[in-house]
Amino acid sequence: MTFRRHMEREVLRALAEFPDDGGIYVVTFRIDSVDQDPRFPYLAVGYNTEAEVARQIEVVGAAEAWEVRWSYAYFPPSGLEGVRSAGNDPEGAALFRREAEEQGFWDDEERLDERFRESCVDLARWLHAEGHLVKALGRPLPIVLYDMFDPDAMFAMTRDANPAELVEEFLAEDPEGEDS
């Protein structure tokens, strides 16, 4: 099995664990690594709900509506920590290491990080292209990607990972203004 296939399997398992309440409006991909070591990356797959946004807006006020809806600082554990993580399990870690060694970048932290981020963006595209989100959740939803070590990358990664119409609202606050 390849690392990619392993990640696909684990992300599909995560989607199967999402509640069937219809209130989910976003799938979250939190990109992280064990002990901040890019040799041990993982993806926490989660979601947020309209009910959680409404609850948070009551707490912090409507002036923060975009932040409450899209910033992981306001997400419940299901959005930030995810319902399942992929890549940091023994099988995923071994596959990632094997492929990185075979491709000659195991000792290059920057390339390890870059490859994993690219893999996560590509994985989100695959979920859209193959209709997995619609199958699991009944409709297409945006997948917002957060890199815990590069928070400014969330707009570019999310833009690259989704059909444009799904991320218009999220990209409205893109400081680069490249939301079209």
pLDDT tens digits along 75-117: 999 998 999 999 999 999 999 999 999 999 999 999 999 999 9
The answer to whether the beta carbons of residues 46 and 78 sit under 8 Å apart is: yes
Please indicate, yes or no, if residue 89 is contained in any of the structural domains.
yes
Helix pair 109-129, 154-161: axis angle to 10 deg = 40
Please indicate, yes or no, if residue 180 is contained in any of the structural domains.
no
Please indicate, yes or no, if residue 177 is contained in any of the structural domains.
no
Helix pair 3-17, 90-102: axis angle to 10 deg = 150
How many domains does the structure of the chain reveal?
1
Please indicate, yes or no, if residue 76 is contained in any of the structural domains.
yes
Q: Is the pLDDT of residue 178 over 80?
A: no
Alpha-carbon distance of 125 to 13, in angstroms, equals 17
The answer to whether the beta carbons of residues 29 and 43 sit under 8 Å apart is: yes
Q: Is the pLDDT of residue 137 over 70?
A: yes
Please indicate, yes or no, if residue 122 is contained in any of the structural domains.
yes
Please indicate, yes or no, if residue 33 is contained in any of the structural domains.
yes
Judging by DSSP bridges, how do beta strands 24-33 and 143-147 pair with one another? parallel
Predicted local distance difference test score (pLDDT) of residue 62: 67
Reported as half-sphere exposure (CB side, CA atoms, 13 A), residue 85 has a value of: 18
Q: What integer is the mean pLDDT of 20-40?
A: 93
Please indicate, yes or no, if residue 178 is contained in any of the structural domains.
no
In the block, tokens 């193959």 appear at 130
Alpha-carbon distance of 128 to 133, in angstroms, equals 6
Local structure of 75: helix, strand or coil: coil
The pTM of the full predicted model, rounded to 2 decimals, is: 0.93
Domain range for 127 is 3-171
Local structure of 107: helix, strand or coil: coil
Give the Å distances, CA to CA, from 97 to 8, 12, 106. 17, 22, 7
pLDDT mean across residues, the chain:
93
